[in-house]
Amino acid sequence: MISPITRSRAEEMLARIKRFATAATKKQMQEKFGICTDNAVGTTVTTLRALVKGLPRPDQDLAEALWQSGIHEARIMASMLADPAQMTREKLDNWASELNSWDICDLCCGNLFSKVKNPLKLAERWIKKEDEFVRRAGFAIICSLSAPRAKTTDEDLIKLLPLIKNHSCDPRPMVHKAVNWALRNIGKKNPRLTPRAVACANEILDLYPDNRSARWVAHNALWELNLPKTKVMVAKRK
Q: Where are the domains of the chain?
A: 1-82, 92-238
Rounded CA separation 90/78 (Å)? 17
pLDDT at 121 exceeding the cut of 80:
yes
Residue 87, helix vs strand vs coil: coil
**Count of Cβ atoms closer than 10 Å to residue 186 Cβ:** 27
Which residues have CB under 8 Å from 133's CB, separation 6+? 96, 99, 100, 101, 102, 105, 174
- The pTM for the full model equals 0.95
pLDDT at 1 exceeding the cut of 80:
no
pLDDT at 2 exceeding the cut of 90:
no
Q: Is 55 left (phi over 0), alpha (psi -120 to 50) or beta?
A: beta
Say if CB 84 and CB 112 are below 8 A apart: yes
User: What's the Cα-to-Cα distance from 169 to each of 17, 185, 218, rounded to whole Å?
Assistant: 39, 18, 10
CA atoms in the 13 A half-sphere facing the CB of 21: 20
Selection from 67, 76, 12 nearest residue 49 by Cα: 76
Can the peptide bond before residue 58 be classed as cis, meaning omega within 30 degrees of 0?
A: yes
So what's the pLDDT on residue 238? Answer: 85
**pLDDT, tens digit (0-9, with 9 covering 90-100), for 83-106:** 999 999 999 999 999 999 999 999
Mean pLDDT, range 178-188, rounded to an integer: 98
Backbone angles phi and psi of 38, in degrees to 5: -55, -40
So what's the pLDDT on residue 120? Answer: 96
What does the longest C-alpha to C-alpha distance in the chain come to? 59
Mean pLDDT, range 172-184, rounded to an integer: 98
* Confidence band of 230 (pLDDT split at 50, 70, 90): very high
